[in-house]
A and B are shown apart, each in its own frame.
Chain A
Amino acid sequence: RKEVEQDPGPFNVPEGATVAFNCTYSNSASQSFFWYRQDCRKEPKLLMSVYSSGNEDGRFTAQLNRASQYISLLIRDSKLSDSATYLCVVNAQYNNNDMRFGAGTRLTVKP
Chain B
Amino acid sequence: DARVTQTPRHKVTEMGQEVTMRCQPILGHNTVFWYRQTMMQGLELLAYFRNRAPLDDSGMPKDRFSAEMPDATLATLKIQPSEPRDSAVYFCASGPRRGAEAFFGQGTRLTVV
How long is the Cα–Cα vector from A48 to B93 in the complex, in angstroms?
16
Binary contact readout B47-62 vs A (1 if CB under 8 angstroms, 0 otherwise) = 0101000011010000
B56 and A96 form a contact (CB under 8 A): yes
Neighbouring A residues of B50 by C-beta, 8 Å:
96
Segment at the interface with B among A12-20, A61-69, A101-109: A101-109
Q: B70 interface residue, CB < 8 Å from A?
A: no
A98 and B104 form a contact (CB under 8 A): no
B33 and A43 form a contact (CB under 8 A): no
Neighbouring A residues of B72 by C-beta, 8 Å:
none
Size of the B side of the interface (Cβ < 8 Å), in residues, is 24
Binary contact readout B69-101 vs A (1 if CB under 8 angstroms, 0 otherwise) = 000000000000000000000010101001111
Report the tally of A-B residue pairs with Cβ distances under 8 A: 54
Size of the A side of the interface (Cβ < 8 Å), in residues, is 22
Binary contact readout B6-48 vs A (1 if CB under 8 angstroms, 0 otherwise) = 0000000000000000000000000101010000001101001
- Supplied contacts A43-B106, A46-B102, 4 more A-B pairs, CB within 8 Å: A34-B101, A42-B106, A43-B104, A103-B42
Given the contacts A43-B105, A99-B48, A32 and B99 also touching, CB distance less than 8 Å: yes
B33 and A101 form a contact (CB under 8 A): no
Neighbouring A residues of B99 by C-beta, 8 Å:
31-32, 91, 93, 98
Shortest CB distance B23–A (Å): 12
How long is the Cα–Cα vector from A44 to B43 in the complex, in angstroms?
10
Q: A100 interface residue, CB < 8 Å from B?
A: yes
How long is the Cα–Cα vector from A101 to B93 in the complex, in angstroms?
13
How long is the Cα–Cα vector from A96 to B99 in the complex, in angstroms?
10
A45 and B45 form a contact (CB under 8 A): no
Shortest CB distance A2–B (Å): 9
Shortest CB distance B80–A (Å): 25
Who on chain A is nearest to B101 by CB? A46
